Structure 1
Amino acid sequence: MVRHSDVLTGAPNWTTLLFYTMVSNLLCLVWVALLVVRTARDLREAGASGTSTPSPRASGAVMMAITVTMLIYLVVLVPARFADGDSDIFSLTDNLIHIITPLLVIVDWLIFVPKGEFRWIDPLLWTLIPYAYLVWAFAYGALGGEFTPGQKYPYPFMDVDVLGVGGVTQWIVALTLALIVVGLVFVAIDRTLAALARRIPRR
């Protein structure tokens, strides 16, 4: 995030914090800080055994929020940037915030979060985070805000001026369905791992 916002150059670009990518990465940063505190407490009280998280279902929400960043980057933004002739794709900065962070959060969930807590309704609830961003972004642009100079939409699939209301709606519906499917896969993995853990005899 420091690299992406040009903080190290001495001329930071704070408008980068307005994009969902940065919002979701900031969410992960806050969540990891909570994990550090909780893990330290659990180590002190129970020792180095078992799992540690403030909330398994909240961990799923954070994981889904950052997974949205990765999937939209790989499926929507990268092809669009290729089509526009952008040669600076998959730079270190892009990889860190769009791919590496999401994968690390998923791995953290797989290894350290108790399984069997997800519910089948959770994927619908997890969409509330990206939807809250959509509502805010559309309102921000409608009120005259700009994400970059002259750009009142943060992402091409949200550009009502180009795609029209119908086109943007189709994109949002398609992405919503795709994300719900991914969320259901996470729930299925959660329940499968919980079932396997119950079959392993405890010593």
Structure 2
Amino acid sequence: MSKTQVYRGLLAILGIIGVSMQLYQDGFGMLLYYTVLSNILVFSFLLYLISWERRNGSINQNNPLLVQKAAVTMAITITFLVYHFLLAPKVKPEDYYNIRNFIVHYIVPVGLICDTLILDKVKVYRWFSPFVWTALPLAYFVFAIGNGLFLKWPIPGSEDSPFPYFFINMNKYGGLTVLKNALVILLAYVAVGYLLVFLKRFIGQRH
């Protein structure tokens, strides 16, 4: 097992631990949070990547898996950024300073960002890749709005339940404000995606 595989394996284990703690302490309703879903996506993809490399050898710079991994990286990056800048200031100290919170919002996201920046042997992403990478958060946005308006499944620990996050609470802020909030986050997401595309021209292992 290579050092890269060991690193990814440890990161996947941390993700499993963080998600397990979330579900054990607050129930399966936590699966309605983007944070939990994105962490599940990360450790599932990392385990698949390790399995793929053990069967087929190291991934070359043109392998589509690296583009998919970038999409996963962007999915967890928004977890980190939205939490740190929008949600963390509203969190009680006891809910912020605990290991499960740090794992799912900081350790796993930053760990995967470093992995993608430093370890991936990727030539270049496509110019339109950052727009493709928006598919995952957009799909969650549609689901979250649908749940808030129609399904109304309760969200554990959310004061805005059945909406998981305050900035998409249509009942409280109205559709126009929520749309503006989503657009701002989407534009920031695309900008960070292009930053990743730019940085990968200079950072990381190359063939």
| Bin for the TM-score computed over the shorter chain | 0.7 to 0.9
Alignment pair present for 1:16 and 2:30: yes
Match of 1:96 in 2: 103
Match of 1:182 in 2: 192
Match of 2:73 in 1: 63
Output the amino acid matched with 2:54: A
Whole-angstrom distance in 2 between the partners of 1:54 and 1:119:
11
How far residue 39 of structure 1 moved from its aligned partner, in angstroms, is 2.1
**Is the 1:39–1:53 Cα contact (8 Å) retained in structure 2?**
no
Identity among equivalent positions (%) equals: 27
Output the amino acid matched with 2:81: L
Match of 2:131 among 124, 130, 138: 124
Unaligned runs of 5+ in 1: 199-203
**TM-score, length basis structure 2:** 0.80
Query: Structure 1 118/90 Cα, relative in aligned 2: closer, same or farther at 3 Å?
Result: farther
**Is the 1:141–1:152 Cα contact (8 Å) retained in structure 2?**
yes
Match of 1:87 in 2: 93
What secondary structure does 1:115 align onto?
Answer: coil
How far residue 172 of structure 1 moved from its aligned partner, in angstroms, is 0.7
**TM-score, length basis structure 1:** 0.82
Match of 2:14 in 1: none
How far residue 163 of structure 1 moved from its aligned partner, in angstroms, is 1.3
Output the amino acid matched with 1:3: M
How far residue 192 of structure 1 moved from its aligned partner, in angstroms, is 2.6
Query: Structure 1 197/30 Cα, relative in aligned 2: closer, same or farther at 3 Å?
Result: closer
**Is the 2:121–2:206 Cα contact (8 Å) retained in structure 1?**
no
Match of 1:201 in 2: none
Alignment pair present for 1:108 and 2:115: yes
**Deviation string for 1:81-130 (max 9, x for gaps)?**
2xxxx122132111100110011111221233222231221111111100
Query: Structure 1 111/50 Cα, relative in aligned 2: closer, same or farther at 3 Å?
Result: farther
Unaligned runs of 5+ in 2: 1-18
Query: Structure 1 132/34 Cα, relative in aligned 2: closer, same or farther at 3 Å?
Result: same
Whole-angstrom distance in 2 between the partners of 1:66 and 1:111:
17
Query: Structure 1 2/197 Cα, relative in aligned 2: closer, same or farther at 3 Å?
Result: closer
Match of 2:44 in 1: 30
Whole-angstrom distance in 2 between the partners of 1:168 and 1:50:
42
Aligned length in residues: 185
Runs of 4+ aligned structure 1 residues displaced above 6 Å come to 49-54
**Deviation string for 1:9-65 (max 9, x for gaps)?**
xxx61101111000000101110111111221244xx7xx97797611001000000
Whole-angstrom distance in 2 between the partners of 1:52 and 1:35:
15
Match of 2:164 in 1: 154
